[in-house]
């Protein structure tokens, strides 16, 4: 029965990184993976520019809006906006350890208030028809769920509370959040990873909520690593590795459809050409959108997400330099110039990287 259910592979929500352009690029690499937005605070949606935060191109589905907040009514209204804008799911951030986020009373510090988080989930669940999920940590500060029964129960009680409130999925970042004394960057590496604890939490949570999906997040860097934990979780969320080495996403559809058996991928000349042509078309569509809305166009907002694609190939350093040259980027102000820019950049990798673009305009 286990192998009949397809598991979820997802690119994690990452501030300043998983914006609409990044998600469109990632969608050229994988059809089946789930893409998450950057975290958007309820305050930004209640008092800010909603289209700026929520607008995206329709090629991105399935796409999840991650929210940051701790006020049930505001989260409910924000979830309603997410549904109106066509997002497939809403995820509540209970894992970010940033002190700036803590001052806003959301993120990882919410793990200490499971009843409040449950109220937040319930409010969103009652407001919308789309699924509600929660991303969280294994514990807080010096807790040790691996050796302390009390600390393990803390994590399990949190998961049970949000599941009981209506969350259909939790994503466990399998290390603690240290709320004082570590930077967000240090929080991604210093607290030890405890995959075995996360796996046990899944089993124990599903005894009471058999339909709850439990995803693993934290420290996963290769498709082989993901495949190695395939049977222990309902899916996997990958952050920085997926962003810095996006070619790994080329193997995700096969990984999903073979139930974890196919961990490799072939990054061929044909695949390179397909991706470059897709990028040209995406950026040209965005150029048209900017012109229609009388907004400034800057191709660098898109190319900054693509820099890791040629990782390991001869000439990749020159390719990255070309895609990061602000003077050259600023000059790209027509659809023809967009195509020429990507073609010229590709040629720094060698003749094999040249692609032909069929133009209909």
**With contact defined as beta carbons under 8 Å apart, do 290 and 297 qualify?**
yes
Q: DSSP readout, 93-139?
A: EE----HHHHHTT-SGGGGG-HHHHHHHHHHHHHH-SS-EEEEEES-
**With contact defined as beta carbons under 8 Å apart, do 252 and 207 qualify?**
no
Catalytic residue of the set 22, 96, 109, 120: 96
Burial of 194 by CB count in 10 Å (0-12 exposed, 13-18 middle, 19+ buried)?
A: buried
| Active-site residue, 96 included | yes
**With contact defined as beta carbons under 8 Å apart, do 269 and 43 qualify?**
no
129: left (phi over 0), alpha (psi -120 to 50) or beta: alpha
**With contact defined as beta carbons under 8 Å apart, do 63 and 23 qualify?**
yes
Burial profile 113-152: b = 16 or more Cβ within 10 angstroms, e = fewer: bbebbbbbbbbbbebbebbbbbbbbbbbeebebeeeeebb
**With contact defined as beta carbons under 8 Å apart, do 177 and 191 qualify?**
yes
Q: DSSP readout, 183-231?
A: -HHHHTTSSPP-HHHHHHHHHHHHHH-TT-EEEEESS--SHHHHHHTGG
In the chain the beta strands, taken as DSSP E runs, fall at 8-11, 34-41, 63-68, 89-94, 132-137, 169-173, 213-217, 235-238
Strands 235-238, 63-68: pairing is: unpaired
Catalytic residue annotation? 96
């Amino acid at each position: 029965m286990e192998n009949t259910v397809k598991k979820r592979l997802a690119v994690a929500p990452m501030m300043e990184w998983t914006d609409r352009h990044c998600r469109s690029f990632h969608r050229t690499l994988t059809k089946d993976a789930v893409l998450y937005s950057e975290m958007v605070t309820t305050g930004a949606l209640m008092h800010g520019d909603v289209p700026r935060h929520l607008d995206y191109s329709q090629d991105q589905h399935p796409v999840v809006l991650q929210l940051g907040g701790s006020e049930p009514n505001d989260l409910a209204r924000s979830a309603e906006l997410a549904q109106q804008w066509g997002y497939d799911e809403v995820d509540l951030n209970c894992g970010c350890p940033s002190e700036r986020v803590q001052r806003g009373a959301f993120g990882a510090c919410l793990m200490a208030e499971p009843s409040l988080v449950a109220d937040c989930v319930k409010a969103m669940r009652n407001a919308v028809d789309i699924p509600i999920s929660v991303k969280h940590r294994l514990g807080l500060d010096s807790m040790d769920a691996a050796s302390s029964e009390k600390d393990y129960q803390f994590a399990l009680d949190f998961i049970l509370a949000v599941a009981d409130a209506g969350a259909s999925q939790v994503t466990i970042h399998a290390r603690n959040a240290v709320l004082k004394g570590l930077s967000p960057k240090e929080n991604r590496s210093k607290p030890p990873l405890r995959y075995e604890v996360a796996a046990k939490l899944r089993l124990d949570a599903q005894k009471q909520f058999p339909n709850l999906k439990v995803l693993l997040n934290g420290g996963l860097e290769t498709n082989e690593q993901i495949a190695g934990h395939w049977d222990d979780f309902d899916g996997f969320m990958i952050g920085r590795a997926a962003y810095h080495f996006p070619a790994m996403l080329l193997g995700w559809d096969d990984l999903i459809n073979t139930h974890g058996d196919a961990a490799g991928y072939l990054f061929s000349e044909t695949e390179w050409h397909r991706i470059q042509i897709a990028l040209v078309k995406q950026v040209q569509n965005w150029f048209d959108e900017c012109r229609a809305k009388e907004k400034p166009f800057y191709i660098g907002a898109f190319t900054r997400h693509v820099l890791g694609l040629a990782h390991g190939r001869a000439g990749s350093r020159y390719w990255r330099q070309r895609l990061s040259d602000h003077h050259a980027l600023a000059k790209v102000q027509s659809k023809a110039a967009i195509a020429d820019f990507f073609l010229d950049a590709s040629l720094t990798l060698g003749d094999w990287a040249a692609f032909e673009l069929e133009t209909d305009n």
